[in-house]
Amino acid sequence: MLAEIFFAYFAVVIVLTSILVIASRNPVHSVLWMLLLFFHIAGLYLMLDAEFLAAIQIIIYAGAILVLFLFVVLLLNLKEEIKGRPFSRIFVIALVLAIGMAVVISSTMKLLPPGPVGQYSMDMIRATKGGNSSIIGRVMYTEFLFPFEIASTILLVAIIGAIVLAKKRLRS
């Protein structure tokens, strides 16, 4: 019962803040709503006993990516942005489409077969010393070695891309 109450709280706040993110006129306010949103997503991860993911959610998404968003948003000329109408004319069509989508998803969701139960159940994670983070470490650095090394290459590409893009702007 208590778990359901917590879940309901997180779910409702996630939906509300997501709507506020796209409905705010001021992009800085959007970023702040998104910050609140990320915190509640982290709370949901905690409910699933994925504490490492919850911490990463805050450190990477709230602490790094959203800060980058904020830097970009600060560059916008807010005076013009705020003057614009918050909802454009296609709002009604978009709303109808969104509701239709929600109906389709919620009616077909029960038809999906549940995935197979793996080795790493919540009981198993709870029983392990160090919990979620040591399990993730053990799996990532033994079984998923190759994807992990690929990640470093992707990060390398990201560094180069960031510098190439910004250098163009510096010169002009």
Residues 152-171 that bind another protein (CB under 8 A): 152-153, 155-156, 158-160, 162-163, 166-167, 169-170
Using an 8 Å Cβ cutoff, are 28 and 78 in contact? yes
* DSSP at 49: T
95 or 140: CB nearest another protein: 140
Tokens encoding 13? 């706040």
105 binds another protein (CB under 8 A): no
User: From CA 132, how far away is CA 124, in angstroms rounded?
Assistant: 10
User: From CA 169, how far away is CA 162, in angstroms rounded?
Assistant: 11
103 binds another protein (CB under 8 A): no
Among 15, 94, 99, 151, the residue binding another protein under the rule CB under 8 A is 151
67 binds another protein (CB under 8 A): yes
18 binds another protein (CB under 8 A): no
